[in-house]
Amino acid sequence: MVSEKMVGLVKNSSAIRAMFEEGQKMAAIYGAENVYDFSIGNPNVAPPEAVKKAILELVSEDSPRLHAYMNNAGFEDVRDAICKSLNRRFDTQFVQENIIMTVGAAGGLNVIFRALLNPEDEVITFAPYFGEYRSYVGNYDGKLVAVAPDTKTFQPNIEEFEKVITAKTKAVLINTPNNPTGVVYAEETIKRLVAVMEKKQQEFGNPIYLISDEPYRELVYDGVFVPYLTKYYKNTIVGYSFSKSLSLPGERIGYLVIPKEVEDYNMVLGAANVANRILGYVNAPSMFQLVVAKCIDEKTDVGYYDRNRETLYQGLKELGFECIKPEGAFYLFVKSPIEDDKKFCEIAKKYNLLIVAGSNFGCSGFVRMAYCVAHDTIVNALPKFRELAKELKMIA
Amino acid sequence: MVSEKMVGLVKNSSAIRAMFEEGQKMAAIYGAENVYDFSIGNPNVAPPEAVKKAILELVSEDSPRLHAYMNNAGFEDVRDAICKSLNRRFDTQFVQENIIMTVGAAGGLNVIFRALLNPEDEVITFAPYFGEYRSYVGNYDGKLVAVAPDTKTFQPNIEEFEKVITAKTKAVLINTPNNPTGVVYAEETIKRLVAVMEKKQQEFGNPIYLISDEPYRELVYDGVFVPYLTKYYKNTIVGYSFSKSLSLPGERIGYLVIPKEVEDYNMVLGAANVANRILGYVNAPSMFQLVVAKCIDEKTDVGYYDRNRETLYQGLKELGFECIKPEGAFYLFVKSPIEDDKKFCEIAKKYNLLIVAGSNFGCSGFVRMAYCVAHDTIVNALPKFRELAKELKMIA
């Protein structure tokens, strides 16, 4: 009796979420300390102390606007604080009108797809990619087209990209630092990507929007450079979330940047504002808009994740697992030691190791491990990975 | 270049929202005290003190779950607190599995329409109705069918309803206490409504879901009885929001109730959970889930709205305006003294009186006034309404 569109989705409901919910059940059975849950990007690092301070200040101010409606795009002073921070850090020239506060990055992506897509429009992304993208595009009857991965570097495969871009391509969706690989798309790759897009826009006579999903922007290691994409291509729209940078994933707070250089700017901005309202978000949560504005230059303890990255990466490498060393985010994308990545995840589960099959990211033969966990979880999981490697005869 | 679906929506963007945004501009020009903004349901009453206390307690607890992801349906103990409160107050038998926490009632309605609707499915509602319903249904290519109003009582017109219900009817959407009329649907009306629905379900061999949008449930005057609809019809799904009952409209916190008696229960529940995730809400804001659980038996100062109701109702009546006396919510639905309700709103604006045309609610010839404002706004607006009545020759 439900929507036909939903039947398949319910049956194949997010494997990541299913694993997360199963992990909670396993924790209840075996004790949380005996379950090694690498399934979900739920940051283990507490929010910066400034978040707590901001909440306490806001509550004590008793401002009538604290929990109230505001313009659908969000509080103007919050949007102003955000664009000033962006301008300072990336040498951009945004004004508050360019910012729409959203219910996290997932909300922002839904808003922009609702704003842009007609049925059958195509959105290209690069495998491996966050599996939910397929639903976000499908919600508006668009079609997600995945470019096959370059499993050596996990940089976008530009040759393959050029083969799949067509007159139906409305947008290209990228995610850097990347979930699930932790790879940061190199400036050189970006330049090649947008060169193709510029050429194809000319050829087809239609704008092709570059949508940059950036929840992991602040989570980078070894000082790696993450290009700000509006500076490379004028039809760029940025989606951001404070879920990871301030460890606030449950609060659903993020924003879209729609620069004035975007083709059909007024209409795109208007459509995004209306979409924010009619999709039922109405506005991003009011108090957390004010909280993030007060914490705009705060960020999470990247050093914590860096230590986890080193421990898990080195530990797995010693056991014979193959993996590219991530430059950002908090995921390791490990080659499955057996062909069937789903089967590998099932075997791992026997050791209470919860990891997610790469096929959920459009890249079978790999598995994702989210290392945004307690450091001890990694330390205690490594002997279990050793047992797993033994079972698979990777080590004696 | 934007979605064709959005072009018209952008051009005819919500008149209520447009008025609200214009009101803020007018306040900047004339001073807030000289603008009488009855345009939007933004509660003027502060949240109960318990909300502040709950936030302070939660923040001081430093619980790792405070800002974290949880199951898409929400924290289990929060859902448990909600169903226990419902069971206590309405003699129902819900369990926590029946509750899905949502991003306000607007989020909840989008979730349930995404879960249920196939393209061309019809959703029947009763004029006058909240104009956004059209978009919420249209988001999923459903068709909103409005039953013509009974402008004497503003109770649902059951004779007309029986004429428009067809095999394509997937759901009936009602809102009681009603926005924009303030009318509470009488138990007798509800019984007649569900009798027709039962009969038609039998006739067509398909479930017809009754969706009850109840953000104003707690806002009733003179002890009027608001039937809890799951007790009258088994295929009932309830959408609730704390926006009005706790004065938290900006925080986007509410829930859906999907009782186990609903036909195809497991699939409907599963589809709603997936919809909550893929529409990009992911989950209702985490901290405010915990806040509302702590404030579950609190409610806003209804007496405040009651005083406003009396003052505005009596004041307008004395000036010759015609209006049904509201029993709930915080709106007055006043007959336009001239045929063209939009023109009347334009004339009122000359006196800095901001009111919304009934045609936005599928009921032309009337206007809506939201009296969730400072009492002084009403007192000071009445002389302006007098001038307006004079201009229209309603009084000498």
Residues of chain A neighbouring B213 (CB-CB closer than 8 A): none
Residue B337 is classified by DSSP as S
Q: How far apart are CA A87 and CA A85, in angstroms?
A: 5
A:B CB pairs within 8 Å: 233
Contact between A165 and A124 under an 8 Å Cβ cutoff? The reply is: yes
Q: What is the phi/psi pair of residue A239, to 5°?
A: -110, 130
> Of all residues in chain B, what percent carry a pLDDT higher than 90?
91
Nearest to B17 by CA among A85, A92, A274, A133: A274
Asked whether residue A365 carries a pLDDT value surpassing 80, the answer given is: yes
* A2-13 pLDDT per residue, tens: 999 998 888 877
- Closest residue of chain A to B235, computed from CA coordinates: A1
How does residue A22 score in pLDDT terms, banded at 50, 70 and 90? confident
- Please state, as a whole number, how many other Cβ atoms lie within 10 Å of the Cβ of residue A68: 22
Q: Which residue has the tokens 């009885």?
A: B225
* B89-138 pLDDT per residue, tens: 999 999 999 999 999 999 999 999 999 999 999 999 999 999 999 999 99
Assigned CATH for A62-294: 3.40.640.10
- Answer yes or no: do A278 and B66 touch at CB < 8 A: no
Hey, which CATH number is domain B4-48+300-391, 3.40.50.10420, 3.40.50.720, 3.90.580.10, 3.90.1150.10? 3.90.1150.10
Q: What's residue B180's pLDDT?
A: 98
* A209-223 pLDDT per residue, tens: 999 999 999 999 999
The domain limits of chain A are 4-48+300-391, 62-294
Q: What's residue B97's pLDDT?
A: 97
Least confident of A315-324, B4-13, B28-37, B335-344: B4-13
Residues of chain A neighbouring B140 (CB-CB closer than 8 A): 3
* B152-169 pLDDT per residue, tens: 999 999 999 999 999 999
Q: How far apart are CA A183 and CA A328, in angstroms?
A: 6
Q: What is the phi/psi pair of residue A277, to 5°?
A: -75, -55
pTM across the whole model: 0.96
| B1: helix, strand or coil | coil
- What's the token pair of residue B92? 């129902």
Q: What's residue B263's pLDDT?
A: 96
| B122: helix, strand or coil | strand
* A40-98 pLDDT per residue, tens: 888 889 999 999 999 999 999 989 999 999 999 999 999 999 999 999 999 999 999 99
Q: How far apart are CA B210 and CA B268, in angstroms?
A: 13
- Closest residue of chain A to B248, computed from CA coordinates: A67
- Answer yes or no: do B14 and A277 touch at CB < 8 A: yes
Which of left, alpha, beta for A374 (phi over 0: left; psi -120 to 50: alpha)?
beta
How does residue B373 score in pLDDT terms, banded at 50, 70 and 90? very high
- Answer yes or no: do A140 and B3 touch at CB < 8 A: yes
Asked whether residue A17 carries a pLDDT value surpassing 80, the answer given is: no
ipTM score assigned to the predicted complex = 0.95
Question: Would B4-48+300-391 and B63-294 be classified into the same CATH topology?
Answer: no
Residues of chain A neighbouring B20 (CB-CB closer than 8 A): 69, 71
Which residues 209-248 of A are in CB contact (within 8 Å) with B?
247-248
Instruction: Fill in the amino acid letter for B365.
Output: G
Asked whether residue B14 carries a pLDDT value surpassing 70, the answer given is: no
For chain B, say whether A120 makes contact (Cβ under 8 Å). Answer: no
Q: What's residue A14's pLDDT?
A: 64
Residue A202 makes CB contacts below 8 A (sequence gap 6+) with none
Residues of chain B neighbouring A290 (CB-CB closer than 8 A): none
Average pLDDT across chain A, whole number: 96
Q: What's residue B16's pLDDT?
A: 73
| A131: helix, strand or coil | coil
Asked whether residue B187 carries a pLDDT value surpassing 80, the answer given is: yes
| Top mean-pLDDT range of A13-22, B21-30, B136-145 | B136-145
- Answer yes or no: do B67 and A280 touch at CB < 8 A: no
Helix axes of B49-61 and B286-294: crossing angle, nearest 10 degrees:
120
- Answer yes or no: do B279 and A279 touch at CB < 8 A: yes
3-state SS, A196-237, equals HHHHHHHHHCCCCEEEEECCCCCCECCCCCCCCHHHCCCCEE
Distance in Å, alpha carbon of A338 to nearest chain B alpha carbon: 31
How does residue A20 score in pLDDT terms, banded at 50, 70 and 90? confident
Peptide bond between residue B326 and the one before it cis (omega within 30 degrees of 0): no
Residue of B7, B9, B10 to mutate when probing chain A, most A C-beta within 10 A: B10
Least confident of A124-133, B34-43, B291-300, B361-370: B34-43
- Answer yes or no: do A287 and B251 touch at CB < 8 A: yes
Torsion of CA A378, A384, A390, A391, to 10 degrees: -130
Q: What's residue A303's pLDDT?
A: 96
Q: What's residue B190's pLDDT?
A: 98
* Helix, strand, coil percent values for chain B (each to nearest 5): 45, 15, 40
Residue A249 is classified by DSSP as G
DSSP codes of every residue in A272-318 = HHHHHHHTT--SS-HHHHHHHHHTTT----HHHHHHHHHHHHHHHHH
How does residue A21 score in pLDDT terms, banded at 50, 70 and 90? confident
Q: What is the mean pLDDT of residues A253-269?
A: 97
Residues of chain A neighbouring B117 (CB-CB closer than 8 A): 3
- What's the token pair of residue A362? 């459009």
**CATH architecture label of B63-294:** 3-Layer(aba) Sandwich (3.40)
Helices assigned H by DSSP within chain A:
4-11, 15-30, 49-61, 76-90, 104-116, 132-138, 158-164, 187-204, 265-278, 286-294, 302-318, 341-349, 375-391
- State the maximum Cα–Cα separation within chain B, in Å, rounded to a whole number: 67
Q: What is the phi/psi pair of residue B319, to 5°?
A: -85, 0
Average pLDDT across chain B, whole number: 96
Nearest to A137 by CA among B293, B272, B279: B279
Nearest to A244 by CA among B196, B68, B262: B68
Contact between A152 and A363 under an 8 Å Cβ cutoff? The reply is: no
Instruction: Fill in the amino acid letter for A389.
Output: A
The strand pairing partners of A213, in sequence order, are A239
For chain B, say whether A32 makes contact (Cβ under 8 Å). Answer: no
